[in-house]
Amino acid sequence: MHLQHDIACCISILFILNFAKADSQDYLQEKTIHLLDKKFNSNEYSDNDERDREFLASEDSEVSVSNTFDKNIIWKSQWANNIKFGQISGVSIDPNGNIGIFHRGSRVWNRNTFDNTNRFDRNERPIQENTIVLLDKLGRKLLEWGANMFYLPHGLTIDMYGNYWITDVALHQVFKFDAKDIAKMKDITKLKKRQYIQEKMFLNNHNFDPLLENNVLKPSMILGEAFEPGHDEKRFCKPTAVAVESNGDFFVSDGYCNSRIIKFNAKGEIILQWGRHVNGNIYDLTHLSSNVFNIPHALALASELNLLFLADRENGRVLSFFATNGTFHKEYKHPIIGTKYIV
Whole-angstrom CA distances from 157 to 20, 113, 301 are 22, 24, 11
- State phi, psi for 51 to the nearest 5 degrees: -65, -35
User: Any known ligand binding at 151?
Assistant: no
CA nearest neighbour of 220 among 268, 155, 169: 268
Is 329 annotated to bind ligand? no
Check the annotation: does 283 bind a ligand.
no
Kindly give, in sequence order, each residue whose CB lies less than 8 Å from that of residue 93, ignoring residues fewer than 6 positions away.
Answer: 99, 100, 158
Strand partners of residue 143:
134
Task: Please check whether residue 93 is in contact with residue 5, taking contact to mean a CB–CB distance below 8 angstroms.
Answer: no
Is 156 annotated in some ligand binding site? yes
Amino acid symbol at 127: I
Radius of gyration of the chain (CA): 20
**175 closest CA partner among 151, 156, 194, 196:** 156
Tell whether residue 91 is among the known ligand binding residues: yes
Query: Is residue 313 a known part of a binding site?
Result: yes
Name 219's Cβ contacts closer than 8 Å, sequence gap at least 6.
175, 176, 177
- Spatial separation of the C-alpha atoms in residues 267 and 190, rounded to whole Å: 32
**88 CB-near residues (< 8 Å, 6+ apart):** 2, 3, 6, 101, 102, 103, 104
**Phi then psi dihedrals of residue 101, to 5 deg:** -125, 130
CB-neighbour burial class of residue 297 (10 A; exposed 0-12, middle 13-18, buried 19+): buried
| CA-to-CA separations, 249 to 266, 289, 328, in angstroms, rounded | 5, 26, 19
**Annotated binding residues:** 91, 104, 154, 156, 256, 297, 313
**Annotated binding residues for Ca(2+):** 91, 156
**Annotated binding residues for Zn(2+):** 154, 297
**Annotated binding residues for a protein:** 104, 256, 313
